[in-house]
Amino acid sequence: MRASETVAIETTAPEQHRDLTDAVRDVVRRSGLASGLCHVMVLHSTAAVVVNETDDPNIGTDISVALDRAIPDRDGWLHDRIDDNASAHIKAALLGPSELVPVRDGELVLGTWQRIILMEFDGPRKRKVHVQLLPS
């Protein structure tokens, strides 16, 4: 069994949400893992991974809008003196870099509307998402 894989994702906008579910599902299927856990982690500090709905694409947009209201760009953040992307770091830190999803019978265990989503806050960029599989 291949226990881990890194997936390359390109974002095309400054803030964007990208559905990772199919890419992660492919990693799980290739691995042959029957039962265990799938850890999905973005390897960057200005993006996050969440589990939420994508059937209505407005949800990802609503999350971004809510975070923009709570964490405005260039609001006197100290890190802006260095990189001018402090709000992206703060948003990503609040949502977190990873999710842990169960695997049963070789498939991700997600609810009807749940998907694994990359939230980009400092794009466009080439991102790496690491998928680590933990057998039970």
Q: Which domain holds residue 28?
A: 4-135
What is the tens place of the pLDDT at every residue in 41-57? 999 999 999 999 999 98
Q: How many domains, the chain? A: 1
Does position 1 have pLDDT exceeding 80, yes or no? no
pTM of the model as a whole: 0.95
Kindly state the average pLDDT of the residues 113-126.
Answer: 98
What is the tens place of the pLDDT at every residue in 71-100? 998 999 989 899 999 999 999 999 999 999
Closest CA relative to residue 99, chosen from 89, 108, 107, 91: 108
What is the tens place of the pLDDT at every residue in 19-45? 999 999 999 999 999 999 999 999 999
Q: Provide the CATH number for the domain around residue 14.
A: 2.60.120.460
